[in-house]
Amino acid sequence: MKRIIIQILILTIALSAFASDKVPKKTISLAGEWKFALDEKDIGNSEKWYKKSFTERVTLPGSLQEQGKGFDVTMNTPWTGDTGHSATDPKFAKYRVSGNIKVPYWLNPDKHYVGVAWYQKSIEIPAGWENRPVEIQFERTHWETTLYLDGEKVGDKNALQTPHRYVLNSLKKGIHIITLRVDNRVNIDVGKNAHSVSDHTQSNWNGLIGKMSITAKTSMYIDDIQLYPDIESKSVKIEATVKGSAKKPTLRFYATFNGRKVGKEIKLAINPQTNKAEGVMLFGEDIKLWSEFTPNVYQMHSTLETSDGADSRSIDFGFRNFKTKGMMFEINGLTTFLRGTLECCIFPYTGYPAMDKRYWEKIYSTCKDYGLNHVRFHSWCPPKAAFQVADSMGIYLMVECGGWANIGDGNPQDEWFKEEGDRILKEYGNHPSFCMLAYGNEPNGKNQVKYLSELVDYWQKKDNRRLYTGGAGWPYVENADFNAWYDTRISGGLDNALNTGLPRTDFDHRAPLMKVKTPMIGHEIGQYCVYPNFKEIAKYTGVLKAKNFEIFRETLQESGLADMSEKFLYASGKLQAICYKADIEAALRTPGQAGFQLLDLHDFPGQGSALVGVLDAFWDSKGYIYGEEYRTFCNQVVPIVRFPKLILTNEETLDAKLQVAYYAEKPMTNAGLSWKIETREGKEIKNGRFTADLPQGGLCDVGVIKASFPQIDKPTQLKVTVQVDNTPYHNSWNIWVYPAKQSSISKMPHIAHTMDNVTLEKLQNGENVLLLAKGNIAFPKECEIKVAFSPIFWNTAWSGNQPPHTLGIYCEANHPALKSFPNDGYSDYQWRDLTIGSDAIVMKDFPKEFRPIIYLIDDWFQNRKLGLLFETKVGKGKLLVCSSDLESDLNTRLSAKQFKQSILEYMASDSFQPKDEIDLNVVKGLFK
């Protein structure tokens, strides 16, 4: 008997093993080799290519371009995106010659293709898949697809940012041919500069990326599940939709947190008329909330059981309540301030978005390292991996439907944006990180307000899990939950707060906020440019190459300044960081401002090459500021000092209000705040301490820092530091104290304003001459060079040469001419009075090896040798030329007064020994 039992067991195991071998896989990957054909003339449909077999091959997922398919870049390449003047500018003529094509306006692909491509693959349908739905999924395509099975059309899709899914019915066992037509032309006008399609950033690629699969479904299967967590009732409302039919289907749900079952498992009935099911799952008292502080992610597991098997799905979700209160945002009842950056679909290696979690982990961890809690996706929507990683790291995401377009006039894109919004909400709506949705960026159209108001109203009624707005930047939409607005930023131009009045930190944006009623996010703040990092060129080993940087490097070499590139990068980068600090602190100290969105934490490589990031296009540091320093002024807690002036005499008193922008999770009572003032050498000369309560969620007044400096008898640069005791939060600012009474100059030079006969005679007689050339410098024919303290805004190629045209100054900080003008070799606020309104000295006719004492760093599109101060021998005499204003209002322009004193002392000293002698005609040629 025992022997018979053993034999039966052996037979049962063998039969089970045999049966398991016959059970087909539920999902088969479609990744791998595919056949393909380019259809540049779009004749494939008329010639029935879907019935043909192709001969060329590519590997998917991927794009055609990254596999060398498409066409070489020429002057006739049909780019997607405005190209500005790069096609006609004479200075780029040599880069428009066959064999040396380089586009200065964005990163350059090796191959380019816009049009139709066909992809084809044999698939084997295993036994057991007959008579059941089979779903083919392409996670992300670019852009429109049409699917054929064995030469017969299945359907078409035009989603740009969500998966394309096709359901096939009644497939037979055996080999089948799927043929996919992909068209990356902009057939729906989402806007040729929209980052969802444009060559400015990701490139207009053709192909399929992400997960590609074919899946056997049960006769009834899950189509959609939307979860609506409720913190107050500690429950989750479940709305499920199924497709197909089955007898007595069972739909079950259970939840887990960190792998452990939580909540009450429930079973829902499916309405046979609607194929929908609704129910509520109750959780216990100890639910874990999701936020930037506690990114707790739950999983909802669902199983639809039918007579022919089970269909299962697991969904990430979180308990959070992201809403508005007055003019601010709240997360779970805590006021939060959105510290954000844009992500404009910048992926130089691939030319398309990262579809895996690893790269998104780098992006978000870098954002957190630099003190940010928010990312806006400018005119595009990222893939699933981006949401999953943001969920796990506590990043608030603003997603857009892919537009930078004309809207509201009844064109096809109006309906498409609404449909794309529906697709995005369905696909990604459960992710707790998905906090905000907009149509896209800066729209056009006379009916845009009406259209966006209706779209916002539609979304608000459809799905209450997030906040909605119209377009980023404009227009103001009254029924929107919030608006992203350009008025709440310093912005570019010559007349911004960085370039007018005294250098100070007590201004804010409260005036424009008086006109609005919704929370306002500072739209695309910053946009301060930095000089290119030519070492970065070697990093472009993928689809996109930095041929724009190659142009800039070559023109710098032609100007004889190749050795200056790294110095220009560092000096302009330090100025850029100073300006970003000013912009971010202005937002934080504005009562009622709800947040900001940087453009950008990292470089934007398109639209003329907008080098606006403190990080490069790969999210790597450029070497002049790192996260530890950036977080001092961009964080959940930031000490703020409102300096009415940053430059004083030793007879004045510092009187500055101390505040704290406090958005940490928990308030602090009796917090200690210590402040100190120290010299550049680290010698402490003043200190103090305050005690204050720091309530959560706002701007807290702490006290007034007062200090006088009668003991300072020489020009001194000081640093004011504020520390929140026993925390990592601190912030600092440079200030300058100059003697009110200056020393007399024993040997005054002759002061002139132009190279007239008197000046020449003085020089020929061996005298020292200070030539104050402001107002008498001759500019190049092509343009007048406008100089300010703040650097180039965005870039001159895209903005039509909008001033300012320079990137700050560079000098050797310890040059003897600057002995009485303490500085670090780059623009800080003490240089403001010297740069604003100064004349750039264009030294194109000077010897290439000649170096000025102080450079103005030129626009990288021009790369001219520009000076602010230089010296030369002329005959027996010595000449110092300065193009700053060193004469007007010197009692208020303290830096200009002190700078003049410093160079006069230098000229009276034995150190004034110019080593170069410039041809007199060259010097004379500088002047009008």
Average pLDDT over residues 624-636: 98
Task: State the amino acid at position 660 in one-letter form.
Answer: V
* The predicted structure's pLDDT at residue 91: 83
Q: What is the mean pLDDT of the chain?
A: 94
Q: Are 424 and 162 in contact (CB under 8 A)?
A: yes
Nearest Cα to Cα of residue 633 among 395, 339, 364, 366: 339
| Tokens linked to 892 | 């208020």
Average pLDDT over residues 282-303: 96
End-to-end CA distance of the chain: 118
* The predicted structure's pLDDT at residue 308: 87
* The predicted structure's pLDDT at residue 24: 54
Q: Rounded to whole angstroms, how far apart are CA atoms 24 and 427?
A: 28
* The predicted structure's pLDDT at residue 21: 35
Average pLDDT over residues 777-799: 89
Residue 758 DSSP SS3 = helix
Instruction: Give 491's pLDDT tier (boundaries 50, 70, 90).
Output: confident
Q: Is residue 118 pLDDT above 70, yes or no?
A: yes
Nearest Cα to Cα of residue 255 among 342, 318, 208: 318
Q: Rounded to whole angstroms, how far apart are CA atoms 153 and 148?
A: 4
Q: Is residue 22 pLDDT above 50, yes or no?
A: no
Q: Rounded to whole angstroms, how far apart are CA atoms 861 and 848?
A: 19
Average pLDDT over residues 897-914: 97
Q: Is residue 66 pLDDT above 70, yes or no?
A: yes
Q: What is the DSSP string of 456-525?
A: HHHHHHH--SSEE-SEEB----TTSS-EEETTSS--SSTTSTTTSSSS-S---SHHHHTT-SS-EEEEEE
Bridge partners of residue 59, in order along the sequence: 33
Cis previous bond, 667, omega within 30:
no
Q: Are 674 and 687 in contact (CB under 8 A)?
A: yes
Q: Rounded to whole angstroms, how far apart are CA atoms 343 and 202?
A: 11
Q: Is residue 120 pLDDT above 90, yes or no?
A: yes
Query: For residue 14, what is the enclosing H or E element?
Result: helix 2-22
Q: Is residue 531 pLDDT above 50, yes or no?
A: yes
pLDDT greater at residue 712 or residue 13: 712
Handedness of CA 166, 169, 173, 178 (dihedral sign): negative
Q: For residue range 614-629, what is the model confidence (pLDDT) as tens digits?
A: 999 999 999 999 999 9
Q: For residue range 770-779, what is the model confidence (pLDDT) as tens digits?
A: 999 999 998 8
Q: For residue range 536-580, what is the model confidence (pLDDT) as tens digits?
A: 999 999 999 999 999 999 999 999 999 999 999 999 999 999 999
Q: Rounded to whole angstroms, how far apart are CA atoms 821 and 814?
A: 9
Q: Is residue 393 pLDDT above 50, yes or no?
A: yes
Question: What count of Cα atoms within 13 Å lies in the side-chain half-sphere of residue 875?
Answer: 15
Q: Is residue 822 pLDDT above 60, yes or no?
A: yes
* The predicted structure's pLDDT at residue 102: 93
Q: Is residue 9 pLDDT above 90, yes or no?
A: no
Give Cα separations from 807 to 167, 495, 824, 860 (angstroms): 56, 16, 16, 9
Q: Rounded to whole angstroms, how far apart are CA atoms 585 and 571?
A: 21
Give Cα separations from 748 to 239, 240, 433, 873 (angstroms): 85, 87, 67, 17
Q: For residue range 585-617, what is the model confidence (pLDDT) as tens digits?
A: 999 999 999 999 999 999 999 999 999 999 999
Q: For residue range 413-422, what is the model confidence (pLDDT) as tens digits?
A: 999 999 999 9
Q: How many CB atoms lie within 10 A of CB 354?
A: 20
Instruction: Return the DSSP state at 50.
Output: G
Q: Is residue 7 pLDDT above 80, yes or no?
A: no
Q: Is residue 402 pLDDT above 60, yes or no?
A: yes
The phi and psi torsions of 550 (rounded to 5 degrees) equal -60, -40
* The predicted structure's pLDDT at residue 780: 77
Instruction: Give 1's pLDDT tier (boundaries 50, 70, 90).
Output: very low
Q: Is residue 271 pLDDT above 70, yes or no?
A: yes
How long, in residues, is the chain? 928
Alpha helices, DSSP H, located in 769-877? 796-799, 832-835
* The predicted structure's pLDDT at residue 800: 87
Residue 811 DSSP SS3 = strand
Does pTM surpass 0.85?
A: yes
What strand order describes the sheet that includes 698-708? 637-642, 653-662, 698-708
